[in-house]
Amino acid sequence: MQAPLDLLALLGDGAFHSGEALGRRLGISRAGVWKRVRALRAAGLVVHAVRGRGYRLDAPVEWLDAEAIEAAVPAAARRWLGGLEIHPVLDSTNAHLLERCGQGAANGTVCLAEMQRAGRGRRGRRWMSPPARNLYLSVLWRFETGLAALATLSVRLGLALAACLESQGVPGVRVKWPNDLVLGQRKAGGILVELRGEPCGPNCVVAGVGLNLGMPAGVDIDQPWTDLARAAVRPLSRNRLAGRVIGTLLACFAALQEDDAHPWYRDWPRYDALAGRRVRVHWPGRSLEGTALGIDPTGALRLRLVDGRVRRIASGEVSIRTTA
């Protein structure tokens, strides 16, 4: 995919460029340019072709910029930033940092990519990652504690990111337990938390975030989706938003490491996408239906069953039930 990204770099200004001029810049034939245009389209980008004028993107590209991103990290969180990597293409930002866990990467190391070839969501789902349009980033943090002390992390991250997006001019973001970010009933982002370590500690945690910032309309996704730009009250900068998201993740990690006693779960009702909804919780080979009642202090979903009993759900995949 590196070769089509070279073409994307030339088209990134959003202006028309002739096939002849592009070929000359890239050292390839016009047929080679057309082949790379098709590769960009296959990756989900909208590339217009007009006879006599050439090719252009549907919108200019804001490339990821380390200096701009770091400047956008809130000052209070910047002290936890252990390093910032930006890659043109990775299989997965999470996979990259999980490998770095064993290579001595510093606490607070952050990795971003313009594009992922094999982005992953929860339960092994593929995360669509077209180049230079959305945000794909991961943060590494080392904990001396065991797995039990990290039980709330995934839900806390989802809650904190919903509040972060609201502060950046995207109203209406809600969290579909445990940590999908939704607008209405359409997915706008997600979080994948992965660990390397021992049950009793220490553990290296990598939290990956994928946000649909300006998802191209032609991308094939197997669930209802939307992007943040559609709901934003003002234009969103990829670099500024990346910095704010990174700061939010670092602050969450630091608070958990310091055993922050703040009752974070009290903010859940404000951002709860499932409150009072009929839902089905899925596990391999079985499922359970009930009414979502929010979460408890451990981050578990509270589910009222048909017989009135309330079950605590620590993990599972949730779908919203439609009424007949």
pLDDT at 258: 86
Asked about 35 being catalytic, the answer comes back as no
Per-residue model confidence as pLDDT tens for the chain (324 residues)? 566 789 999 999 999 999 999 999 999 999 999 999 998 988 878 899 999 999 999 889 999 999 999 999 999 999 999 999 999 999 999 999 999 998 999 999 999 999 888 766 555 556 567 788 899 999 999 999 888 889 899 999 999 999 999 999 999 999 999 999 999 989 999 999 999 999 898 999 999 999 999 887 666 676 788 999 999 999 999 999 999 999 999 999 999 998 766 788 999 999 999 999 999 999 988 999 999 999 999 999 999 999 999 999 999 999 998 754
The residue annotated as part of the active site, out of 176, 187, 238, 244, is 187
pLDDT at 252: 95
**Single-letter code of the amino acid located at 269:** P
Distance separating alpha carbons of residues 305 and 283, to the nearest angstrom: 16
Q: Where do we find the tokens 């960009």?
A: 40
Asked about 311 being catalytic, the answer comes back as no
pLDDT at 122: 54
Q: Where do we find the tokens 């080979």?
A: 285
Domains in the chain (CATH in brackets) are 2-57 (1.10.10.10), 66-268 (3.30.930.10), 274-320 (2.30.30.100)
pTM: 0.90
Burial per residue of 59-78, b for 16 or more beta-carbon CB atoms within 10 angstroms, e otherwise: eebbebeeebbbebbeeebb
pLDDT at 324: 47
The residue annotated as part of the active site, out of 24, 79, 126, 321, is 321
Element (H, E) at 241: helix 238-257
Asked about 312 being catalytic, the answer comes back as no
Please state, as a whole number, how many other Cβ atoms lie within 10 Å of the Cβ of residue 137.
25
pLDDT at 26: 94
Which burial class, exposed, middle or buried, applies to 34 when counting CB atoms under 10 A from its CB (0-12, 13-18, 19+)?
middle
pLDDT at 22: 95
Direct distance between the N- and C-terminal alpha carbons of the chain, in angstroms, rounded to an integer: 46
The residue annotated as part of the active site, out of 122, 125, 302, 304, is 122
